[in-house]
Amino acid sequence: MGFKCGWEMVVLVSLLWVSYFAGMAFGGDIVHEDDKAPKHPGCSNNFVLVKVQTYVNNKEDNEYVGVGARFGTPMESKEKHANQTRVTLADPPDLCSTPKNKLSGDVVLVHRGNCKFTTKAMVAESVGASAILIINNRKELYKMVCDSNETNLHINIPAVMLPRDAGERLETYLKRGTPVAVQLYSPDRPLVDTAEVFLWLMAVGTILCASYWSAWSAREESLEYQKLLKDAPDDLPIMEGTGSSGVVDISTTSAVLFALFASCFLMLLYKLMSFWFIELLVVIFSIGGVEGLRNCLVALLSRWFKRAGESFIKLPIVGAVSYLTLVVLPFCIVFAVIWAVYRRISLAWIGQDILGIALIVSVLQIIHVRTLKVGTILLGCTFLYDIFWVFISKVFFHESVMIVVARGDKSGEDGVPMLLKIPRMFDPWGGYSIIGFGDILLPGLLIAFSLRYDWAANKNLRSGYFLWSMVAYGFGLLTTYVALNLMDGHGQPALLYIVPFTLGTIWALGRKRGELRNLWRGEPVRVCPHCIRSKT
């Protein structure tokens, strides 16, 4: 079906664990160090994102995103009701004491530090400011809360925190004497994120297609083996698996080592995260995407151009290559190069998703889980991996390592490429809904195993395990997105929800049907007993 050498398997197997570190759903860029801060009268606002539309020299300029404070007046939700107000730079810059300049009716821009957020807001209100913009000292946004002893606060102006780069840009204009004005408002998000709906469909559809391709290939291999047994001379020894075509089986040892390697690679990314490292990941992803897309196109087109798919030419170094591959490969390379060069434009997500889906489908075709035992160990280890690097790593590194890497902090890029993404087209806040490859690949290995098991055991959809494991995966991913929205967009480890649903469903059904031991040991024997000749 393409190259007759094994280097493409090396590429795809390597991409399996290289891409897993981004295995999470992520929805925000707000630091959550103060989630447990108490609410008090006058300090009980919900945290909301705030649009900060700027006007420089009376001309519309950049729009920034800030976050509203727990205290102060609620933000206006309609753009048409939000006033365009002049911005004044605070003096002193931190506004921890009464300013030297007049702020009557202006929005005051201040630095974070040296005193509490509430102190700055009260000082700004006392001198007549209409709102306060606080420049964070980091790229991320930070939730502004009150201390436990601050009760019955009466702050009657809105307070908004800006990320450092946005605040510094506005400060530069003001220091030059350039007039700056802002419009502050916080539009409501839609109740249902359509991007998450399409992302859910993409993830479920990818596993569905990959599982059927894997099961179909396994069935064809079994039929070829049976035919070989039937046609071969009686004295010719035939080993089971002679017809195997480049499938890699995951063992219990490799399942454990996978999580360890993924942890090491995640730490490497965390320590070395930079612009050049992201560029390296783009190259790695492009290579894997080319091989995945080639594999899928050759498999699809060979149904119509069978002779071209089965005719080979021997090339130096590479080895035997089908004529169909020679036609498809240049297109795949050009497609990946165009995506890599223009990946920052608005429609680049389409190319990234095509390459990503092709890569995932190819990996699920080549890599197999043969037993429920291996699937349980693999998903169990990665389940713990997700929990540790998203939540527990905060204890040791003072920040979530997984979230930092997934966001691409310190890289100057919008995150790593090993994920599927869809823009939030009907969300006034824009942005992307994303899911890491690991959240599709790893459950997909178990689900593809369930379909191969069903076909080998001649089970229909209702009496088998594939349908119910697919339903369980869908519910698990849906639960992930519900949790993501309930937790203000804080990144969630999707396997935290997906693994109990999928693995638990297969275990429960196997136990109920009395087939758990067969599932644990592996797929049923696929060779027809009547086709095996007795040995003489």
Residues with a catalytic annotation lie at 386, 439
Q: What CA–CA distance (Å, rounded) separates 279 from 284?
A: 9
Length of the chain: 536
Q: Which of 49, 18, 30 is nearest to 407 (CA)?
A: 30
- Is 143 in a helix, a strand, or coil? coil
Sign of CA dihedral 461, 465, 469, 471: positive
Angle at the Cα of 37 (from 35 to 38), degrees rounded to 5?
A: 130
Report the alpha-carbon distance of residue 405 to residue 344 in Å, rounded: 18
The amino acid occupying position 40 is H
Report the SS3 class of residue 446: helix
3-state secondary structure of 435: strand
**Cβ–Cβ under 8 Å, residues 415 and 285:** no
CA gap 200, 189 in Å, rounded = 19
Residue 167 CA to residue 374 CA, distance in Å, equals 51
Q: How far apart are CA 363 and CA 250, in angstroms?
A: 12
User: Rounded CA gap, 44 and 69, in Å?
Assistant: 9
- CA-to-CA distance for 139 and 273, rounded, in angstroms? 15
Nearest to 185 by CA among 165, 164, 162, 160: 160
> Within 232-371, where are the H helices?
252-272, 275-301, 306-310, 323-341, 348-366
What is the Rg, in whole angstroms, of the alpha carbon atoms belonging to the chain? Answer: 28
Of residues 312, 315, 335, 314, the one with CA closest to residue 323: 312
For residue 417, is the peptide bond before it cis, meaning its omega torsion is within 30 degrees of 0? no
Q: Number of helices and strands (H, E) in the chain?
A: 16, 16
- Any residues with CB less than 8 A from the CB of 439 and at least 6 apart, and which? 23, 24, 25, 203, 477, 480, 494, 495, 498
H/E run at residue 59: strand 59-68
Q: Is the dihedral of CA 77, 79, 84, 90 positive or negative?
A: positive
CA distance 63 to 39: 30
Pairing verdict, β 159-162 and 59-68: antiparallel
Helix boundaries (H) for 101-244:
117-126, 164-175, 194-231
Closest CA relative to residue 494, chosen from 9, 22, 25:
25
